[in-house]
Structure formats: structure tokens, C-alpha cells
Amino acid sequence: MIGHTDNAIEIDAPIGFVWARTNDVRTWPELFTEYAKVEVLEEADDSVVFRLTMHPDEQGREWSWVSRRSWDRDTWTVRARRVETGPFEFMNITWTYEELAADRTRMRWVQDFHMKPAAPVDTAGMTEHINRNTRVQMEVIKERVEQSRRAVVGFTDVPSNTRRGGDLRTLVSPATVGASSGFLGAVRLASGEQVAEHYHPYSEEFIFLARGELRVDLDGEPVAVSAEQSLLVPRNVRHRLTNVGAGEALAVFQLAPLAPRPELGHVDTEVVP
């Protein structure tokens, strides 16, 4: 008898966000209730080998094993197998993801396995256990992924991007909260500092100046923006931001809709020295 389980759950979040959150094995102790520790042993662009350690059981025993996961984002498929099989003769797992709507994803786990003759539980018993536990963990993951979309993101909670000048942070985005139609960020500019000229082929940009004085060059034409004023930058319009005030400027920006891929969202037309 081969053990086989097939379980699925629908999560109210975009498929890319669900994919990223559930395949970052380093964060599994925060995503699952049963795992205490993850140690990454090998890593490549499309695979990872890692040791997974569970919380101690009722007898105080700590179970751990090594697994290999490989993925194909084009087909939203992950395949895994245990390298250290422990009580299993083999354990093979397939995770698939299906986009049901812009903010809804079906995640499915299929597991095929067989227990060793000396294992403390037979294949039928393990099938029942895995089915029961998978449903519990899927509900936990659903709740935690959906809750993370409601996170409050501070300016210093995300990395700084200084490539175009200034201290720019992308705050509310597909990566941070699973935004599906655009993203929001903020940039701090010291007096005289600039965000280098660029344009967005797919997105409009909405700028709100929270404090300071900016000159925004739109296709070479300067526009003055004062504190608590806003400005639209249409698609394909070259724009550069310059702090022309004596103090720091803080501008909030939003771009929508999203480009097909993140690297297509900005086209640089000058380089910051």
C-alpha cells in the first residue's frame, strides 16, 4: 500500500504573494506551528536543501530530517522529497498553486509515501495522521498569510534603495503585503539631492509632498511642488525630483497599475554620479 494524501485550501491573497510566503523555508517556523527550526544546507536559484526540526513531542523527542525542494514558478509547482527518510521508505511531495482571482489562490499539497516495516506507525496510520495535520497547518497558513496583508509597514521596516538618489523605500507592495494593482513608497531627499530621471512604461505615478520643496522636471519642463501638494506623472513621461528647499524633503509616491514584471517598471534615462 502506498500512502497518498491530497489536500487544498483557498487563501485570500495574490498567487505571487502566497508563493513567496510559503516557499521561503527560512520563515517556516513563523508560518507553521509544528516546526521549531530550519537550517539551509544548500541553495540554488530553483532549489534548496534544508534540515527541518520539529518542536519536541509529548515524550520530549525532537524529530528532524533533510529535504530537497525544487520549484518552477512558470507552472506554480514545487516538488520535494526527503533526503533523510527516517521511518519512511520514501516521501514525495508536490505543491501546486492556482490563481482563482487577483486576490485569491488555491494551494494544493499532494503527498505520496510508504513507511518502513519497523516504523512506529504503518502506512495507513500515517496517511490518517498526515491528512489530519495537513488540514490544521493549511488553516494556520491561510490565517497567517491573510493577516500579513494587513501589516502596518514603517519607513525603516524595509530596505533603502539609493540607486537613483535619495533614501527611497517601497512600503506597501506585492512583496510586503501582497498588493495586486500597484505599490506605495516614500523618499527622503536632503537639500539639493535628486532622484535621477527615469520613466514608467506601464504605470502612472502619484506624488504627494509631505514636507519640503521640490522641483519635478517632467520631460525637461520644471514644475514646483510645495509641502502638502500633489502631482501626477503620466506613463512614459521622463521625470526627475530635486529638493530645492533648505531642509529635508519627504515625498510619498504611488504607482499603478503594476508592470508585467518588476524589472520592466522603471526605465532609467540618466545615472546618479
For 35-100, the DSSP string reads: EEEEEEEEEETTEEEEEEEEPP-TT----EEEEEEEEETTTTEEEEEESS-TTEEEEEEEEEEEEE
Q: What is the mean pLDDT of the chain?
A: 96
**Single-letter code of the amino acid located at 263:** E
Identify the residue with better confidence: 271 or 103: 103
134 found inside a domain: yes
pLDDT at 69 over 80: yes
Tell whether the model's pLDDT for residue 272 goes beyond 80: no
pTM of the model: 0.87
Q: Name the phi and psi angles at 175, rounded to 5.
A: -75, -40
Q: What CATH number is given to the structural domain containing 193?
A: 2.60.120.10
Q: Give the per-residue pLDDT at 182.
A: 96
What is the pLDDT at residue 57?
79
Last-in-domain residue among 125, 148, 171: 148
Residue 207 has pLDDT above 80, yes or no: yes
Residue 80 and residue 198 in one domain: no
User: Using an 8 Å Cβ cutoff, are 124 and 130 in contact?
Assistant: no
- Average of pLDDT values for 121-128? 94
What is the band of 59 on the pLDDT scale with cuts at 50, 70, 90?
confident
pLDDT band at 1 (very low <50, low <70, confident <90, very high): confident
Q: How confident is the model at residue 19 (pLDDT cuts 50, 70, 90)?
A: very high
> Which helix (H) or strand (E) covers residue 20, if one does?
helix 15-23
Range(s) of the domain holding residue 263? 155-268
